[in-house]
Structure 1
Amino acid sequence: MISELQNLQASTGAIFEPLSTGEIIPMTFGNDPEAITATKQGVGLYDRSHWGLLKLSGEDRLRFLHNQSTNSIQTLKPGEGCDTVFVTSTARTLDLATALITEDAILLLISPNRRQHLIQWLDRYIFPMDQIQLQDITSDYAVFSLLGPDSPTILNKLGVTDLQQQPYGCHQLLEIAGSTLRITVGSGLATLGYTLMIPASDASSIWQVLTQVGAIPFGEAVWQHLRICQGRPVPDAELTEDYNPLEAGLWQTLSFDKGCYIGQETITRLNTYKGVKQQLWGIRLNAPVSPGTLIWSDEVKIGKLTSYTNTDGEHFGLGYIRTKAGGVGLKVKVGEIEAEVVDVPFLRHPPL
């Protein structure tokens, strides 16, 4: 069970803190610098069990999700998956999710603080004639991600070779240490890796197996550092009703030829008429700055900082910047702090 997992994590140095949603999660294992290095040179292990996991079943499930999010879902086959964004009718962002297609369902991995909101939001669009069942199965599973160049080696040690060289989102049910679990290509970041969905009763044994073969555990503090440095946007920071997926750099989640879906008209118009007025970028800073601080260029306000980290001794953030102001290489001030706009691997920007 999850409590057994937390006891195991505590025995290896995990320090727990509550989220605003109430879940108690490992914030750090007391090894943050080592763990960051592991994601670059070895393999790190992140417990994502506090993220939301939803299940869509019923004959209309593909059509339903296709019509409720930005990517092309109906073209996917069992064993495939993709990232997709839920947006409002005016294309304002709700959440970035990963959708996995199985033989009889769609699994949706969503952000921790969007679980209840998305359940209610999706339920609003299920009509009486729709053959759709929506379930919250978060508590039934643990979710772990392996991140780093040695992730394939870790799986090899456990006898898993089928997923190497497979594209992002591909997934299979496989057996490890007597447990049947789903392994998906993709770490949740631009870093090479895999995500594992494990029955909750087997969570502690799989965690122990993964650490025994060399995965370095890390907590939420390192995850937040990594996602900011790589540019993964999150709800309440970069994903809010102030921004749309094109501005948020999530072009890889958008299908422009899939037909109608919620927010499609606005997204198509912005793309067709090059109407993206602001874009999300990495910001290399000379000193600490609080999220929400305004960004300036030549004494003109051009944007706002949305996230900040300095875990490895360097000051770095994410921020939205007016498109006409420029992009990579632009020198700016964030408040009174000098900074430079840089590219980050998770984000895409409008094609020239």
Structure 2
Amino acid sequence: MSVSNINQNDAAAIKAAIETVAVYDRSHWGRIKVSGDDRLRFLHNQSTNDFQSLKPGQGCDTVFVTSTARTIDLATAYIKDDAVLLMVSPNRREYLIQWLDKYIFFADKVELSDITEETAAFSLIGPKSQAILQELGVTPLETENSNQEYNIHTVETLIAVGSGLALPGYTLIFPVVHKDTIWNKLVEIGAVAMKETAWETLRIMQGRPVPEKELTEDYNPLEVGLWQTISFTKGCYIGQETIARLNTYKGVKTYLWGIKLNNYADPGSQIYIEQEKVGALTSITETTEGYYGLGYIRSKAGGVGTKVRIAENEGEIIEIPFISHQYPES
């Protein structure tokens, strides 16, 4: 099916991210530097993943949650020799700095710095990402979220494994004064420029949740499907009791799914199976293959292949690669 309304540049960038390589400017995402001797213990206690087992050069995705395990943001952490660098959603940067600051007590050796404005960040997305870096003289690491400092045309650059999606790629962080130079070089050697509109389409197709749409006060990380961000063995952290209880008693009643639709429906629209209301649409996008959405659907309503109705439109539940609804092996 060909949909004429999608921007051709966006379509080309999405195709490149899947088949070759695209570059997306993530400089507007938040970058928070956490330093001080207690930084790993502090982050360990404030989010879902196991920071105290991590060494410099490693990293992880983690979720910041409320005391009742409602989602605040999905962040990526890069462990450096002297600090932890957090990449957070654009609309959660200031909130998270204030929220984290509340939990720093007098004896804690922890400092928070917002380095968003002084740095730039790009993500290379797609199977040819490694080849692009090799063109720049870099032999990058391969373990997910692992990171290392490299010199790219005399610019000190942190390169981390991971595109921010369930597609191969790398994220580059470096001083903002070199932003145009590095962007132009990446495009010159073959990366296809990806605009915000194309990223939004791709992240919906991939199932990456974002604050105020999928990550809200209404849902916890298990309902979202962010199992890979949660340590069930690390002990106490904010929201841990609720998450542990949901896991132990298999208490997840709602799941985030992808939905293929035959027409547009407004986010927030109710999802029905026959006459029964089973959930709500959170995001939707138009692609060259039709409409794709994300939505929360009651777990007992059905999974992949289930037919649904949203605002008089027909739809079908599909898998999305960024998340999982599998309980981890005990």
TM class, shorter-chain normalised? over 0.9
1:174 equivalent in structure 2 = 150
Deviates more, 1:263-272 or 1:293-302: 293-302
1:101-116 matches, cutoff 5 A: 101-116=79-94
Q: Which residue of 1 aligns with 2:61?
A: 83
Which residue, 122, 125, 132 being the options, matches 1:154?
132
In structure 1, how many angstroms separate the alpha carbons of the residues matched to 2:8 and 2:261? 26
| Correspondence for 1:267 among 234, 237, 243 | 243
Q: 5 Å matches for 1:141-220?
A: 141-163=119-141, 166-220=142-196
Determine the structure 1 residue equivalent to 2:315.
339
Q: Does 2:238 align with 1:234?
A: no
**Matched residue, 1:40:** 18
- Cα shift at 1:145: 0.3
Q: Deviations over 1:256-302 (max 9, x none)?
A: 00000000000000000000010000000011111000000121110
Give the deviation of 1:29 after TM superposition.
Answer: 9.3
Match of 1:245 among 211, 218, 221: 221
Check the 8 A contact 2:67/2:239 in 1, yes or no: yes
Letter in 1 for 2:175: P
Task: Output the CA distance in 2 between the equivalents of 1:63 and 1:256.
Answer: 16
Asked if the contact 1:29–1:219 (Cα under 8 Å) also holds between the matched residues in 2, the reply is: no
Q: Which amino acid aligns with 1:44?
A: A
Preserved contact between residue 222 and residue 311 of structure 1 (Cα < 8 Å) = no
Which amino acid in the other structure matches residue 80 of structure 1?
Q
Match of 1:15 in 2: none
Q: CA deviation digits over 1:84-137, x for unaligned, max 9? A: 000000000000000010001000000000011101100000001101001100
How far, CA to CA, are the matches of 1:65 and 1:198 in structure 2? 23
Aligned to 2:325: 349
In 2, Cα distance between equivalents of 1:290 and 1:125:
38
The size of the alignment, in residue pairs, is: 323
> Structure 2 regions of 5+ residues with no counterpart?
1-5
Corresponding residue for residue 278 of structure 1: 254
Cα deviation code 1:161-195 (max 9, x no counterpart): 142xx211000000111111000000000011000
Q: TM-score, normalised by structure 1?
A: 0.90
1:310 is aligned to 286
Counterpart code for 1:190: A
- Gapped regions of structure 1 (runs ≥ 5): 1-27
Which residue in 1 is equivalent to 2:3?
none
The answer to whether the Cα contact below 8 Å between 2:130 and 2:140 also exists between their aligned partners in 1 is no
1:344 is paired with a residue whose SS is: coil
Contact 2:140 2:159 in 1 (8 A): no
Q: Is the 8 A contact 1:54 1:135 kept in 2?
A: yes
Aligned to 2:197: 221
Q: Distance in 1 between matches of 2:302 and 2:143?
A: 33
- Deviation, 1:311, is 3.2
- Deviation digits for residues 10-64 of structure 1 (CA, Å, limit 9, x no counterpart): xxxxxxxxxxxxxxxxxx9971121111111111010000000000000100000
Structure-2 residue corresponding to 1:63: 41
Separation in structure 1 between the aligned mates of residue 296 and residue 190 of structure 2, nearest angstrom: 38
Structure 1's consecutive aligned runs of 4 or more residues displaced over 4 angstroms after TM superposition are: none
Say whether the 8 Å CA contact 2:133–2:140 is kept in structure 1.
Answer: no
What is the CA RMSD across the aligned residues, in angstroms?
1.2
TM normalised by structure 2 equals: 0.96
Q: Distance in 1 between matches of 2:32 and 2:327?
A: 33
- In 2: Cα distance, 1:314 partner to 1:170 partner: 36
In structure 1, distance between residues paired with 2:284 and 2:140: 38
